[in-house]
Structure 1
């Protein structure tokens, strides 16, 4: 029995609970040599910023016509602010992707591309400064806020303003730039799960006396980091009372994993939560969540208010609330979780009080942690010498069942063509992940680029409480194939193997598109001992070829069936004998598992295949 060891630590919790692990061998945490390792950045789900809040704005700049009255300058290095409508360069050779700012006004925005324009060991200092802004028309008793959209993923994660760190400063001056008050923003946020766009609101009232000559300055200090994207700078009234929902969770990200697809037999109660933030001026008290869950037909399954509350949040503070719902999904399809923050005070800007999550699907057999739309790709582990490697997700088993197939999405890149791949299942025994089984090797083709490839595996029984690691792997080389990745997951839930077969985890993971199918396909595959027909290629994209060899003349019918047993194609071949080859078009058929059935006087033979 093969054993692959690494420290599980708190990861092996009781039942179906998962906790972050102190991995013995985790990667992408420090050092510029690893900065361009695969998938160093992960992403939150993309959500629009609501700019329709009911508040008076005294100044706005969307940079759609360029810098306008703003001035960009470089004090040190070669990296500065520029106007962009395409986003970061993501230079060739990088195996991750820094996302483009999802601005609410996407014609142009401000970009500082340290990743592309910087170099290792070179300090960077740059500023973007406004001209004088006269907001003397400001007459209300409410304080002023500076608000802007940004995307920022922190490379160094240390902060403190040292020249070797990527640090963001927002400066305010009310004396024509003679003196500046600076606020460090997004310090220590790291790279994992960064919002896009992130709406930053700062109370500038403590820094302003003269409202006729305000200046704003964005200042960057770094050293070959990722960079900073900005848009829609606004000076507006800061509401007295304004809570917002920043992120919605399903399942505690410390003690479990937020899956996107769960098989019906593995469904458990919705445990939901949200990160909430006070973006108003006054302290907010007795903060709770109102929630409602809708089934695939958008029928409400129930609603309630969290019993847990936050006693108080001051301006700029945030915290997380969790609540049980008592609702377990039963109907196949997508569910919607709606969460609204409430507090004792009456909210002055209710447009940002609510957020919905509709990324959960109850499936028949499919188990997935990814969120579907590729955002980056994994090719190999850092310092792995172009060796064999695999990557995948941890799956928590809540009910007895069977794993019969693994599916993974190849990167949409020519280098994935003509490469051998295979998938593996490993199971935790409490101290190590133990190799269970692997699929047959599969040689990729040009038509597999960017496609989901499903490979079968001998049925593996699992029981409630098992912790499974399903991985997609390649056999190394200078041009090894890559696997698409999509969506934020918790640290410790993404792992794989390196060239030594040691288990390695991603420090800041997004989920590989590696899924398991919890169905025993061998029980469906009713083949007889002597093969009398064959199919190829498998998996197939556009057509499947069938080769038949009959020793006697027989009335023969070929059927193609979907996973439910429904016939989707049929060919009546009449009386045939000897060898016969035919092609069956797969046009109009959805991706998934199918069966080719040959029916004649000797009975029925079945072959299964995958439509990619």
Structure 2
């Protein structure tokens, strides 16, 4: 196995990204952002190392009288200590801390929701830290952010408090790990103090919740670097999101930059720190990038950059990325200096994907209008196009069981960078596909990729041409206007700069509520580009565009159009609503191009039937009606 090496010394310029998703209209629906009913946890950003250090004081909230509560806003909203979990309209789970059975501190902002919240929970009796010149507060935390902010507070007299903000990297609707072990250096306030006070402060309005447990005041080690976050990204154009991909087709490869955030968790300056990125995989070559900085002071962090790597030189195959940091000093705990196996990717001929490939569930459904029924939604997933291309199909995973059922109609669409629907339902009909029992995924390891073919609405030919000159970000959607539709998800969308890449992963309920929801799960919606490849099965198989029969409804003869991108072995099947096979034809190997199948239904009873075209083991299904 050959390797790429990318090396960077600490970068002097801080790096940051702003994530926003443009509002889009669909079916006259205007969407806005709202609090999410669910999310996935963010990996630890301020984790304390596991090394041995002096433990000055500990508390597990088992004795509530050790703590005092202060409602600074006078709103009546305050902390509680006990074992009760959040219980508001957007409740998150209870903290999974080490001593959760003894109780923990909870600020349930969502439940109280006064709109003006500022409250402290602080220790009653001071701690003697006079023998320690560098001290930190260590605790287990579970927090989900909306518009609030959370702090460790410290004082050397119990009167004047200094704020140290926690979970600063979380974006709106993001959550920490449960629990996340956090360490905050408070040396500037209480080092060498015989009367050291500590506590926690919540400031917000009507947010989610924050829980803390298993608090300790610890001595800070001298030399401790931590690699708290790492990611790579294709270099985007101005004002476009940083989107990670699990599979990238050759025609869309762009320069790759690698980033990492390093934290000085020790008690002394780190004048020379270095980040090394190793890319191992199918290609060959060595790339280096060098810059310098000094992490002066405990708690100081910086974002480092390596690259760019000219990805256009990568050959097809899998690549693994690993980051590591070190300095001139011997780190007391090097285990937190490495991040790997979170941003691996594959270079392909035709497959474009953001999911990890293994089904892990479906989106968290909701009854938005409280009518007792799960509401239909439209799923959106963004893809970037650096070069003009042709998208032949969307491939998606649809869970079965109590989720989707055979006979459910799926609609799908493309939105250009300006938010305009390609298939507007007037000049170009919205494509549809009818699910069969064979299209439904039973669970992990049995994923069925259903191919949803696309055409050029101007020419009717197979594949939709993407014009990169119109903008990089194109959006692909799947929906049903009336019935519940479930799309599979695969793992989490990786984090960028400490925040989940929720840009371009959204779903909107089609119930008139005008709300947009974002998720850190990644929908299993892939693209087949630059040729006739199947996103779910094989890069060398044939793509089929199955058209709607004409006329429909009918009572005797109908014509079914279809287009093959390449020659392929074709079979045609008609079934009734129970799945019984009415007709099965093996059409043999047919050449590429547009073709028709004639079908006579004069001997069939009136009702709904499904017709399926199977080409090289890939199925496309639609329904027709016999009068």
Determine if the TM-score, normalized by the shorter chain, exceeds 0.5: yes
Alpha carbons of structure 1 residues 320 and 455: separation in structure 2 relative to 1, 3 Å: same
Gaps of 5+ in 2: 1-16, 25-29, 455-461, 534-541, 545-564, 589-602, 604-611, 622-627
Alpha carbons of structure 1 residues 422 and 209: separation in structure 2 relative to 1, 3 Å: closer
Residues 418-437 of structure 1 mapped to structure 2, 5 A cutoff:
420=408, 422-428=410-416, 432=420, 434-435=422-423
Question: Which residue number corresponds to residue 112 of structure 1?
Answer: 106
Alpha carbons of structure 1 residues 428 and 607: separation in structure 2 relative to 1, 3 Å: closer
Aligned length: 505
Alpha carbons of structure 1 residues 236 and 21: separation in structure 2 relative to 1, 3 Å: closer
CA distance in 2, matches of 1:387, 1:245: 42
User: C-alpha offsets along residues 534-562 of structure 1, whole Å, 9 cap, x if unaligned?
Assistant: 46889xxxxx8655568xxxxx999xxxx
Question: Which residue number corresponds to residue 152 of structure 1?
Answer: 143
Is residue 286–residue 344 contact of structure 1 (8 Å, CA) maintained in 2? yes
Is residue 113–residue 228 contact of structure 1 (8 Å, CA) maintained in 2? yes
CA distance in 1, matches of 2:160, 2:135: 17
Question: Which residue number corresponds to residue 504 of structure 2?
Answer: 493
CA distance in 1, matches of 2:262, 2:270: 11
Is residue 248–residue 351 contact of structure 2 (8 Å, CA) maintained in 1? yes
CA distance in 2, matches of 1:117, 1:504: 21
Is residue 255–residue 309 contact of structure 2 (8 Å, CA) maintained in 1? yes
Out of 381, 385, 388, the position equivalent to 1:393 is: 381
Question: Which residue number corresponds to residue 216 of structure 1?
Answer: 198
Give the TM-score of the pair, scaled to structure 1: 0.65
Question: Which residue number corresponds to residue 548 of structure 2?
Answer: none
CA distance in 1, matches of 2:584, 2:405: 32
Give the Å deviation of 1:249.
1.0
CA distance in 2, matches of 1:537, 1:271: 52
Out of 452, 458, 468, the position equivalent to 1:456 is: 452
Question: Secondary structure of 1:285's partner?
Answer: coil
Question: Which residue number corresponds to residue 481 of structure 2?
Answer: 475
Is residue 423–residue 470 contact of structure 1 (8 Å, CA) maintained in 2? no
Alpha carbons of structure 1 residues 170 and 23: separation in structure 2 relative to 1, 3 Å: same
Is residue 243–residue 278 contact of structure 1 (8 Å, CA) maintained in 2? yes
Out of 114, 119, 122, the position equivalent to 1:129 is: 122
Alpha carbons of structure 1 residues 595 and 431: separation in structure 2 relative to 1, 3 Å: closer
Give the Å deviation of 1:510.
3.1
Residues 186-201 of structure 1 mapped to structure 2, 5 A cutoff:
186=166, 189-191=170-172, 193-196=174-177, 197-201=179-183
Q: Does 1:521 align with 2:543?
A: yes
Q: Does 1:181 align with 2:161?
A: yes
Out of 257, 262, 286, the position equivalent to 2:242 is: 257
Is residue 306–residue 323 contact of structure 1 (8 Å, CA) maintained in 2? yes
Question: Which residue number corresponds to residue 302 of structure 2?
Answer: 319
Residues 361-440 of structure 1 mapped to structure 2, 5 A cutoff:
361-362=345-346, 366-370=351-355, 373=360, 377=364, 389-398=377-386, 400-408=389-397, 420=408, 422-428=410-416, 432=420, 434-435=422-423, 438-440=430-432
Question: Secondary structure of 1:392's partner?
Answer: strand
Is residue 41–residue 174 contact of structure 2 (8 Å, CA) maintained in 1? yes
Is residue 289–residue 305 contact of structure 1 (8 Å, CA) maintained in 2? no
CA distance in 2, matches of 1:379, 1:406: 25
Q: Which moved more, 1:269-278 or 1:448-457?
A: 448-457
Residues 29-428 of structure 1 mapped to structure 2, 5 A cutoff:
34-35=34-35, 43-45=41-43, 49=47, 51-62=49-60, 66-67=62-63, 70-71=66-67, 73=69, 75=71, 77=76, 80-84=79-83, 88-89=86-87, 98=92, 101=95, 103=97, 110=104, 112=106, 114=108, 117-119=111-113, 121=114, 123-124=116-117, 126-132=119-125, 134-135=127-128, 139=131, 142-156=133-147, 166-175=148-157, 177=158, 179-186=159-166, 189-191=170-172, 193-196=174-177, 197-208=179-190, 211=193, 213-251=195-233, 255=240, 257-265=242-250, 266-268=252-254, 270-295=256-281, 306-310=289-293, 312-324=295-307, 326=309, 328=311, 330=315, 332-333=317-318, 335-343=319-327, 347-362=331-346, 366-370=351-355, 373=360, 377=364, 389-398=377-386, 400-408=389-397, 420=408, 422-428=410-416
Q: Which moved more, 1:19-28 or 1:194-203?
A: 19-28
User: C-alpha offsets along residues 298-338 of structure 1, whole Å, 9 cap, x if unaligned?
Assistant: xx9677654244455543333322222637554544x4321
CA distance in 2, matches of 1:382, 1:257: 34
CA distance in 2, matches of 1:460, 1:183: 56
Give the TM-score of the pair, scaled to structure 2: 0.63
Gaps of 5+ in 1: 1-17, 157-165, 539-543, 551-555, 559-578, 580-593, 598-604
